[in-house]
């Protein structure tokens, strides 16, 4: 019954000719691209948090040099394919990207050499991988937006989610980052963790505000079935907080942040002041570099090989590491745009009509959802 309902809804919105099918693809197609964003994936990690759904491997020094060369080669392949594009932003994620802090300087130099980089450079990291030397290098590389995966200021919850550091180090790390005049400092905090109360949540939020970070991004514990947490839940039947608890805690977060001068800038994010919003997911078109990275180009999605070994082997042979391709026609592109506007929680009404105005049924349905 569920599958039938999904097919019916999909056909109603997408039409019978729009299909979500991945094809094997050896490299991106030639097309005209003037401006693009770049995502760089660094899969190496020391925490290996069991809830994390992203492509990651345990940090091994012997992988670093070949992975660096593979990334530089992949940049050169895109230069050859698309020419001198303008780069609107660079986002560096992982893993823990700052584990390869010196290598990041080489990668960014390669991007600046091959393309015209004008936008902000953003990076995510972990409290136990930030020190004075790393902060200095972030500034040297002109990285201006930093996100720190704090998750909690409470050791009990850090232990539960597999974070291998004490809450004692978090405050000093954030104080240093705030003092060093980056454009924006974001921290991630988790809520609705097993046993977490409103009082626990308030403590985390208040602590973050006192430390002076520009943005606080909160999210519940997502239990993806392919993560270690997902497996643990199936085996041990650990009971996570139910929907009512999550709703209650989210409503508390929303009201608490607004009372303290932070405005909501996405489903999960709250920002204070006139600083750039830190976001990893709302860029319209981007090239993904690295193992498992995805690219959203004008004709669709391209997905790199997830295996770090296979990614390195392809790039060192000067071959694109692309594994799969999902073609997006105009209809699917419009829904992709709409999906991320729902994440933003703000949808421009005129743009809705520009994209869907010819289809009165869909406009009526969206108006119904708004009400």
Per-residue model confidence as pLDDT tens digits over 272-318: 999 988 887 778 899 999 999 999 999 999 999 999 999 999 999 99
Q: Does 307 map to a domain? A: no
One domain, residues 263 and 346? no
Q: State the pLDDT confidence band at 16, using cuts at 50, 70 and 90.
A: low
**Residue 371, SS3?**
coil
Q: Does 256 map to a domain? A: yes
One domain, residues 87 and 114? yes
Identify the sign of the CA torsion 226, 46, 143, 287. Answer: negative
Q: State the total domains in the chain.
A: 2
Q: Is the pLDDT of residue 172 over 70?
A: yes
Final residue before a domain boundary, out of 239, 271, 303: 271
**Which pLDDT belongs to residue 234?**
44
Final residue before a domain boundary, out of 235, 252, 271: 271
One domain, residues 336 and 239? no
**Which pLDDT belongs to residue 11?**
62
Residue 356 vs residue 79, higher pLDDT: 79
* CB contact at 8 A, 148 and 123: no
One domain, residues 259 and 368? no
Sole residue written with tokens 């809520």: 191
Tally of CB atoms within 10 A around 338: 18
Question: CATH no. for residue 82?
Answer: 3.20.20.70
One domain, residues 253 and 168? yes
Final residue before a domain boundary, out of 232, 255, 271: 271
One domain, residues 9 and 92? no
Q: Is the pLDDT of residue 237 over 80?
A: no
**Residue 254, SS3?**
helix
One domain, residues 149 and 234? yes
Q: Does 315 map to a domain? A: no
Q: Is the pLDDT of residue 76 over 70?
A: yes
One domain, residues 205 and 342? no
Q: State the pLDDT confidence band at 17, using cuts at 50, 70 and 90.
A: low
**Which pLDDT belongs to residue 240?**
64
Q: Is the pLDDT of residue 72 over 70?
A: yes
**Which pLDDT belongs to residue 282?**
76
One domain, residues 164 and 239? yes
One domain, residues 79 and 11? no
One domain, residues 169 and 238? yes
**Residue 1 lies in domain:** 1-17+331-371
Structure tokens at 141: 């590389």
List all residues 6 or more positions away from 357 whose beta carbon is below 8 Å from its beta carbon.
363
Please list the alpha-helical segments (H only) found in the chain. Answer: 2-14, 61-82, 101-114, 132-140, 155-160, 168-179, 198-210, 228-236, 243-259, 308-316, 330-344, 349-356, 360-370
């Amino acid at each position: 019954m569920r599958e039938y309902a999904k097919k019916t809804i999909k056909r109603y919105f997408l039409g019978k000719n729009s299909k979500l099918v991945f094809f094997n693809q050896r490299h991106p197609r030639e097309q005209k691209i003037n401006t693009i964003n770049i995502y760089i994936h660094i899969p190496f990690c020391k925490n290996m948090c069991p809830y994390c759904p992203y492509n990651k491997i345990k940090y091994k020094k012997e992988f670093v040099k070949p992975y660096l060369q593979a990334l530089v080669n992949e940049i050169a392949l895109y230069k050859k394919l698309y020419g001198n594009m303008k780069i609107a932003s660079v986002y560096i994620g992982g893993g823990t990207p700052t584990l390869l802090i010196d290598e990041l300087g080489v990668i960014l130099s390669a991007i600046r050499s091959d393309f015209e980089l004008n936008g902000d450079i953003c990076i995510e990291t972990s409290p136990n991988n930030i020190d004075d030397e790393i902060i200095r290098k972030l500034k040297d590389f002109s990285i201006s937006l930093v996100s720190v995966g704090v998750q909690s200021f409470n050791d009990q919850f850090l232990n539960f989610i597999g974070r291998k550091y004490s809450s004692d180090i978090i405050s000093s790390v954030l104080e240093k980052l705030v003092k060093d005049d980056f454009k924006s400092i974001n921290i991630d905090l988790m809520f609705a963790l097993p046993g977490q109360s409103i009082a626990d949540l308030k403590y985390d939020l208040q602590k973050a505000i006192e430390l002076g970070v520009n943005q606080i991004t909160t999210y519940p514990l997502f239990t993806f079935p392919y993560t270690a947490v997902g497996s643990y839940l199936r085996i041990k039947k650990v009971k996570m907080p139910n929907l009512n608890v999550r709703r209650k805690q989210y409503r508390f977060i929303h009201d608490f942040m607004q009372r303290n001068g932070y405005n909501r800038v996405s489903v999960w994010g709250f920002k204070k002041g006139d600083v750039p919003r830190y976001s990893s997911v709302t860029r319209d078109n981007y090239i993904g570099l690295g193992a498992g990275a995805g690219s959203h180009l004008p004709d669709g999605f391209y997905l790199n090989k997830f295996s770090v070994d296979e990614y390195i082997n392809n790039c060192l042979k000067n071959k694109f590491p692309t594994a799969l391709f999902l073609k997006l026609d105009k209809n699917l592109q419009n829904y992709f745009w709409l999906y991320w506007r729902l994440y933003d929680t703000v949808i421009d009404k005129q743009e809705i009509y520009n994209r869907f105005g010819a289809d009165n049924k869909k406009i009526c349905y969206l108006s119904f959802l708004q009400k």
